Structure formats: structure tokens, C-alpha cells
Amino acid sequence: MGHQNRPGGSTLEDATWSSQRPVTSRTDIFPKLVSLQRSLNARGFAAFRVAGASLPHKRRLDAEYENWSSGLSSGRDAFVAAYGDTLLGHIEASTLPLMWCADDESSFIEASDFTPFTTQVDARLLPYSGIAFPVRLGAVGNGYIVFPTAGGADLPGELVLSVHSRCYQVMTDILSLDERKAMTSETLSEREIACLQLAGDGRISEEIAERLGLSVHTVNAYLGSATIKLDSVNRIQAIAKAIRLGYIT
């Protein structure tokens, strides 16, 4: 593996990133991913979100933005089949970038000046190499931005770090787009929020009624209407959603 192909350069195209304009549509996300692809000299990209909450065997990776087809012999599904479980396990404990090497000797990826801050996963599962950047924002907005690469690459540590930092920004942008959609539904009234908050604090309807000076029936009605507005089947699901959406704490 004597030949080392350094990617284009460690500076990112700042023009794509400098504008402070908030993202308003999916078309604002793609140029950012393309600029990262270019700076890594990669052959494509895919942004995955972890779906299925916290249950280990229910979790999966959903691709939300991708440019994976061009010239890659096996599709994105093959990537998920090969490395999906590794990626899902990894993000539960670590944010280190993951790299994988192809089954073809001439294609490899490493970051020799960035050990130990990258992890090499099982090699030779796919016909191309690549790097996956984990992004962990919290209850929502967890996933990976993945770049398949060509030939041999020894990525400078600085580049890995700055691309990873940009990956966080992209995931935050994706999340903010989602929320814009969610916010358009009917908003909760002050009373409904108060009832949900108290219910989440462990109060039963009778106690909530006493606290707010209402009848039990009214409290139940508020909780019922809140449940409908939050597109939930019962008050427990409504409370869970209300916390996630920030209506109550």
C-alpha cells in the first residue's frame, strides 16, 4: 500500500457554510453534503437517521439524503446490510468516526495521524472503502453521515475533525426542518398544557382538578383534547410526546 492518495485539501469550501441563513428546505441540505463529499474526495454520501428509539433490536438506519448510486457496484442497502448493526451499536457508546476498507487491495482508508480517534471496522465486506461520521444530538437527531471513498486514502486528522464538525451542523439542520413540519399542527391551549404537566408529574385527575379549580370531567376533557391534538391514542402517549416536543418539562 505504498501509494497514498491525499484528498483534495484540508480546507473546506467556506462559501457553502458561511451563510447564517436558516435552512428552509431539503435543497438547502444537499449543497452542504456535496461540499463535504468533495473535500473528502468521496464517491457519494448518505445521511442516515437512527429510527426505532431505544430498543436494541428495533433500531434501524433510515437514509434521508443520499447520493450513492454513481458507479458504486452495490447499492446503499448492501452497505446497511454489511455495517448497519456495527453502526447502531457504536453510536450507543462512542462518537469516534468509523472507517471500513474494501475487499479490493488497492482501495483502503485510514487516518494515520488521527489514531486513536478513528475506529477501523471489519474490512473486506464491500467493494469500496469509506468513512462514517456518527452524530448524536440526544433524544432525536441521531445518525450517521457516510461517505464511500475511492482508491487509497490517508485522511489528515484535521480534515476528519472539521468534516465531523460540519456533519453535526448538517444533522442539526435536518432536525430543524423536521420540527418546522411538526409545529404546523394545532397548538395546545394553556389549560391543556397545565393538565398534561401535572399528569406527567404523577397527579391523578382528581388532584389536577383540585389544583386547577376545575371539575374532574373538565380535566379529563382537556387531557382528551390534548391527546387528539398530539395525535396520540391515550394520555400516556400524549405526555411522552408533549415532553419530546417541549410543551411540558
Partner 1 sequence: MRSPARAEPLQGSSSREILIHKLAAPGQSGDLAHCLRMLTEYLGASNYLLARYDLVQEDGLDFVVASDWPFDLVRRLDSELATTYSQSTELEKCMSVLQPKYNLLPDDVHVLDGISRQYCSITLNVGRTRLALMLLFPQDHVLAADRLREVGLLIGYVVGLSVSKGQKSDRDFELTERELECLFWIAEGKTSDEIATILGISRNTINNYITSVMRKTATKTRSEAIAYAVRNNLV
* Residues binding partner 1 (CB under 8 A): 10-11, 53-56, 58, 91-96, 113-117, 136-141, 156-158, 161-162, 164-165, 168, 172, 175-176, 179, 199-204, 232-237, 239-240, 243-246, 249
Q: Minimum CB separation from partner 1 for residue 246, in Å? A: 3
For partner 1, the closer CB: 81 or 137: 137
* Distance between CA atoms of residues 7 and 156, nearest Å: 8
Nearer to partner 1, 81 or 228 (CB): 228
CB-CB neighbours of 102 under 10 Å = 22
Q: How far is the CB of 206 from partner 1 (least distance, A)?
A: 12
- CB atoms under 10 Å from CB of 88, counted, come to 20
Min separation Cβ 4 and partner 1, Å: 17
Element spanning 197, H or E = helix 190-200
Closer residue to partner 1, CB minimum distance, 5 or 94? 94
User: Of 124 and 211, which has the nearer Cβ to partner 1?
Assistant: 211
For residue 22, how far is the Cα from the chain centroid? 18
Classify 175 as helix, strand or coil. helix
Contacts of 168 (CB under 8 A, 6+ apart): 135, 137
d(CA 144, CA 166): 12
Closest separation in Å from C-beta 64 to partner 1: 16
**Within a 13 Å sphere around the CA of 237, how many CA atoms are in the beta-carbon half?**
9
Question: Closest approach of Cβ 72 to partner 1, in Å?
Answer: 28
* C-beta closer to partner 1: residue 23 or 102: 23
| DSSP assignment letter at 43 | S
